[in-house]
Amino acid sequence: PAEQQERIFDAFYQLEDSAPTANEGVGLGLAIVRRLCALMDIDIQIMSTEGGGTRVRLRLATAANPRVSINEVVPGEQVSSLFDRRIMVVESDTTVRSAIKETLVSRGCRVTGFAATEPALASFDADDPPELIIAGAAVFRDRDGLELVEVLRRHGGHTLPVVLISSGVEEIDLGEAVGGACEVLRKPVDAASLLASMTRAIEYTSA
């Protein structure tokens, strides 16, 4: 009812229901929503028709300078130095892995992607080894990722460069543990940072 629409945002307030359910709440949900909206300066509106349902609408301002996506424009020299490179991506997060692959393929890289170390190792071809590994920190639990790097370096060259994508909460210093040509990036990662790290790691092995 119109006369009760404002009250539904009050803590512990519930409209009378002739047929209550076993999973009834305590009347805090919308009160919490309104409080959060007030803290974040978000406009909240309610539109309700008796017997026809209720709609709650939040109005959020868009960012004036949104973060550039992973497919942002990057310097041409970085793109040319990575063209036709064989890159192995090992990342358990499907969204992150797909975004990285899409970015690198669009720059002319030859990319293979894996969600875990076992299929990555199984796919290793000594006659066509990767020239660089990009690995998410999650694959380094229980030393799986370190073993992957050790195996690939043993068969593909001890200077094989590695770019690690870190969540920042690892219990080990991944850069020190991997050693050699290793770059460590913290999430979230943008295209410019990723490609710059790849270029530095490759240049390190070529020096």
Pairing of strands 43-49, 53-59: antiparallel
pTM attached to this predicted model: 0.58
Taking the C-alpha atoms of residue 76 and residue 98, their distance in angstroms, rounded to an integer, is 22
Give dist(CA 84, CA 190) in Å, integer.
21
Residues 9 and 95 occupy one common structural domain: no
Residues 130 and 200 both lie in one domain: yes
pLDDT in tens, the chain (207 residues): 566 666 666 665 555 554 445 445 555 667 777 777 776 667 777 777 777 777 878 777 665 444 444 445 455 555 568 889 999 999 888 888 888 998 899 889 999 999 988 888 888 887 888 899 898 877 766 556 667 777 777 766 667 888 888 766 554 455 565 666 678 888 778 888 899 999 988 887 765
Q: Are residues 44 and 107 both part of a single domain? A: no
Residue 83 shares a structural domain with residue 53: no
pLDDT at 189: 82
Domain that includes residue 163, residue range:
76-206
Q: What is the pLDDT of residue 144?
A: 60
pLDDT at position 148, please?
A: 72
Under 8 Å CB-to-CB from 184, ≥6 apart: which residues? 163, 164, 166, 174, 175
* 142 & 41 share domain: no
Q: How many domains does the chain have?
A: 2
Q: State the sign of the Cα–Cα–Cα–Cα dihedral 100, 105, 110, 115.
A: positive
- What count of other Cβ atoms lies within 10 Å of the Cβ of residue 157? 13
Helix (H) or strand (E) holding 134: strand 132-136
Question: Which ranges in 58-169 belong to alpha helices (H)?
Answer: 76-82, 94-106, 117-122, 144-156
Per-residue confidence (pLDDT) for residue 141, from 0 to 100 = 61
Tens of pLDDT, residues 134-182: 988 777 665 566 677 777 777 666 678 888 887 665 544 555 656 666 7
Whether residue 164 sits in one domain with residue 96 = yes
**Burial of 131 per CB tally in 10 Å (0-12, 13-18, 19+):** buried
Q: Say if CB 130 and CB 153 are below 8 A apart.
A: no
Asked if residue 71 belongs to a domain, the reply is no
